[in-house]
Structure 1
């Protein structure tokens, strides 16, 4: 039996979505972030030494990292669903987006999250203007331009077919979902700046498998 070690408001939400799309049986073991630090609980360390999510167990296997989990589930259980033909150019795009999501795209979004927290964190009054000034400077001069560059690139790439890897929905779209939801939540993605990406978000959010995963995964604050 597949068990998803599911952390609230995390990348593991898209693993639930993939499992729903593949119509696989699975169980959810829930973990809650510390309300102060927003970090995963120490109990996840018993599943994987890094104590992060997503992690799945499947019989005697433990698999971490979103891309590795997606590839494992697709290769073992999909029967060629949600993946382009391996001899096609679309398959190369599929592999590219699987790795782009956690490689290039998430780095500036994570940096923005960190520097936002620096601005918002309590600190001695004499340090506050200096720390916040540095955080704002880094965000405006480097982080936000990088996020915008990535979003402009994605807007162009998706304009042909409306999906990331060819003319059909694939697991690459599932992998990219967290990136664009995070971008909409804190990276400036909106209908005015990137209308095609927002249409893509609306399409995936309307999918029955996505809605089922959301119901089973419970709170997912990236959407609000």
Structure 2
């Protein structure tokens, strides 16, 4: 049968992958962004804030933003090669719904991560 590896379809393998990807790869990055941005907030003492702001900006520029871009590119590529309208094919699955949570939650924060 075409598209099968060891009895599992490609859609099933994608399904298993994205169930874990959403929580284990994508969400930690999205949670890290607002946590790091707190280093620049007014709650940080005034005399320390310039140092913590530089650290926060470096972490965002060198780690968070490039990885967010990489993840978005990966997700776009997966959608393009899924063989359907969704991540796992032509049928909406729990993996699509689970992936929607971090993407919707971060939708308004993507611009804050960099350009």
Q: TM-score, normalised by structure 1?
A: 0.44
2:58 alignment counterpart: 137
Maintained 8 Å contact 1:109/1:187: no
Structure holding more strand per residue: 1
Segments of structure 2 that go 5 or more residues without pairing to the other structure are 1-6
* Runs of 4+ deviating beyond 6 Å: none
1:169 alignment counterpart: 92
Q: Residue 113 of structure 1: which of 30, 34, 47 is its match?
A: 34
The verdict on how the C-alpha distance between 1:93 and 1:126 changes in structure 2, with shifts beyond 3 A counting, is same
Deviation at 1:166, TM superposition (A): 1.2
Structure holding more helix per residue: 2
Distance 1:159 1:123 in 2: 44
Q: Residue 157 of structure 1: which of 72, 78, 82 is its match?
A: 78
Q: TM-score, normalised by structure 2?
A: 0.81
Q: Residue 125 of structure 1: which of 21, 25, 46 is its match?
A: 46
Maintained 8 Å contact 2:39/2:49: no
Deviation at 1:136, TM superposition (A): 0.8
Segments of structure 1 that go 5 or more residues without pairing to the other structure are 1-85, 189-224
**Secondary structure, aligned partner of 2:89:** coil
**Secondary structure, aligned partner of 2:108:** helix
Once superposed, what is the RMSD of the aligned Cα atoms? Answer: 1.8
1:91 alignment counterpart: 12
Distance 2:74 2:19 in 1: 16
Deviation at 1:121, TM superposition (A): 4.1
Distance 2:25 2:42 in 1: 27
Maintained 8 Å contact 2:39/2:56: yes
| 1:118-170 Cα deviation digits (max 9, x unpaired) | 22241222101111111011101111101110001101111242201111111
Count of residue pairs brought into register by the alignment? 104
Distance 1:125 1:117 in 2: 13
2:4 alignment counterpart: none
Deviation at 1:183, TM superposition (A): 2.9
